[in-house]
Chain A
């Protein structure tokens, strides 16, 4: 379902994960690199990308991690999820990172490397460049 959780306007390259992300403990706060070797983004940095993933999981304290990543200039430009969860929602709200949810079809169509613009003031929210 389409929801705007945190408003904003950005343009950037998609980094997509098929796995949920637990921000507490699996993302390096200084570099934004995913440190969980069971994760499909293991070793990749989420810095300055449009991060697309199903949803957040794990402790709500993970919201503070999102805030820290942003304070360290290692945060994504925006996040796009299939399902809204409170940890990612509050984390993005704290850090002022645009966050939307999209339909399952839209989620399927997004691929790593795509150049995307996201604008929560437009009706279709996302547009391929």
Chain B
């Protein structure tokens, strides 16, 4: 990797220890991904926030570097483990809460916007086309590259943090105008958001850094997010390109059979004890939509609804939260289904969700069974 003289001296420690660590991370990840140089970025989005995932080592590391480290560009971050407003209802132990608050404090000290959201593309203004950013959250990186005309690597928690501090990221192939060598043809008729989530999961398995997708109809926000979430879960692929691709591209169909394979891999039961909506977190449109779908109905089971705090506050002002709570929803800000410590196999056997990303982590990390259903099906089956 080519470094400027200034970058070389930072790597040698001449700009202080924090800069040295940050440059060491950028160079190591850049070399590992065959990047040729570093380029300036305008926005970093961090993962590695939930105490459930980063543990004591992460908490200690962040606490130690936050004494000196400061971010140099706009920096937002992923969900944490709980919503402080209602954490008392979920029986989390005191140690978890205090460690999580320490992590929160470290990030705020470093100058990070406490957004605790996995959908930065929906709650912040999108910079102009072609802007270089550094997003660690996989669904957000894919959304940024595929729908928002931004350019980002699928960053790791560490490269995104280093990028936030330095204001640069490695210039690897995904940031260039690449031509995927594979095209997925969407063959499934009448797709809903669950179908798109499964398509994304399939695409992530077969794609390398990017894939072409053809045969897609007009998609709504929920479906786009589901596709990004699905793809981020199953591989390293960081971008959809919409179209047929070159004629020499390998062509693969996503048909009923492939969809069934994904379904069978992630759906482990036909009935859930509770329902979760949100992974990725719901935006205001989806909250509004859910409120109208639930008019005059209520859930017969617990239903956890995850959204960013800004969305929860807006929804409260408009009156959606009251209506949703009346319909039996628990609304949680700052956290998400994905890697939540609020669901564990001691008190929950199975979860119903429309999220492929949620399903993957509920099954593999929380160790509970998963029942996959589209939102409309969930409302039909689980409300009265």
A residues near B31, Cβ cutoff 8 Å = 3-5, 84, 89
Q: Is A53 an interface residue when CB atoms closer than 8 A count as contact?
A: no
CB distance from B360 to the nearest CB of A (A): 13
Given contacts A5-B32, A96-B24, contact A90 B54 (CB under 8 A): no
Q: How far is the CA of A19 from the CA of B58 in the complex (A)?
A: 26
Q: Return the contact of B156 from the options A6, A7, A67, A86 (Cβ within 8 A).
A: A86
A residues near B60, Cβ cutoff 8 Å = 68, 71
* A94 touching B32, Cβ below 8 Å: no
* B57 touching A93, Cβ below 8 Å: no
* B55 touching A64, Cβ below 8 Å: yes
Q: Which residues of B contact A (CB under 8 A)?
A: 11, 21, 24-25, 27-29, 31-33, 48, 53-58, 60-61, 156-159
Q: Is A99 an interface residue when CB atoms closer than 8 A count as contact?
A: yes
* A93 touching B58, Cβ below 8 Å: no
Q: How many residues of A contact B (CB 8 A)?
A: 24
For the A-B complex, the count of residue pairs with Cβ-Cβ distances under 8 Å equals: 71
* B159 touching A90, Cβ below 8 Å: yes
Q: How far is the CA of A32 from the CA of B243 in the complex (A)?
A: 50
Q: Return the contact of A63 from the options B21, B56, B158 (Cβ within 8 A).
A: B158
* A61 touching B53, Cβ below 8 Å: yes
B residues near A92, Cβ cutoff 8 Å = 28
B residues near A96, Cβ cutoff 8 Å = 21, 24
* B28 touching A93, Cβ below 8 Å: yes
Q: Is A22 an interface residue when CB atoms closer than 8 A count as contact?
A: no
* A94 touching B156, Cβ below 8 Å: no
Q: Is A82 an interface residue when CB atoms closer than 8 A count as contact?
A: no
* B28 touching A61, Cβ below 8 Å: no
Q: How far is the CA of A5 from the CA of B21 in the complex (A)?
A: 13
Q: Which residues of A contact B (CB under 8 A)?
A: 3-7, 29, 60-61, 63-65, 67-68, 71, 84-86, 89-90, 92-94, 96, 99
B residues near A67, Cβ cutoff 8 Å = 57, 61
CB distance from A94 to the nearest CB of B (A): 7
A residues near B55, Cβ cutoff 8 Å = 61, 64
CB distance from A27 to the nearest CB of B (A): 12
Q: Return the contact of B28 from the options A29, A71, A99 (Cβ within 8 A).
A: A99
* B61 touching A64, Cβ below 8 Å: yes
B residues near A7, Cβ cutoff 8 Å = 11
Chain B residue with the shortest CB-CB distance to A59 = B53
Given contacts A5-B32, A60-B156, A67-B57, contact A94 B25 (CB under 8 A): yes
* A6 touching B28, Cβ below 8 Å: yes
Q: How far is the CA of A99 from the CA of B21 in the complex (A)?
A: 14
Chain A residue with the shortest CB-CB distance to B22 = A93
CB distance from B351 to the nearest CB of A (A): 22
Q: How far is the CA of A7 from the CA of B95 in the complex (A)?
A: 38
Q: How far is the CA of A68 from the CA of B33 in the complex (A)?
A: 24
B residues near A93, Cβ cutoff 8 Å = 21, 24-25, 27-29, 158
Other A-B pairs, 11, CB within 8 Å; known A6-B24, A61-B53: A5-B28, A5-B31, A5-B32, A61-B58, A63-B158, A65-B57, A68-B56, A86-B29, A89-B31, A90-B29, A90-B156
Q: 6 closest Cβ contacts across the A-B interface? A: A64-B57, A84-B32, A93-B28, A90-B158, A89-B28, A93-B24
Q: List 9 A-B contacts (CB under 8 A).
A: A4-B31, A5-B28, A6-B28, A60-B158, A63-B157, A67-B57, A71-B60, A86-B156, A93-B28
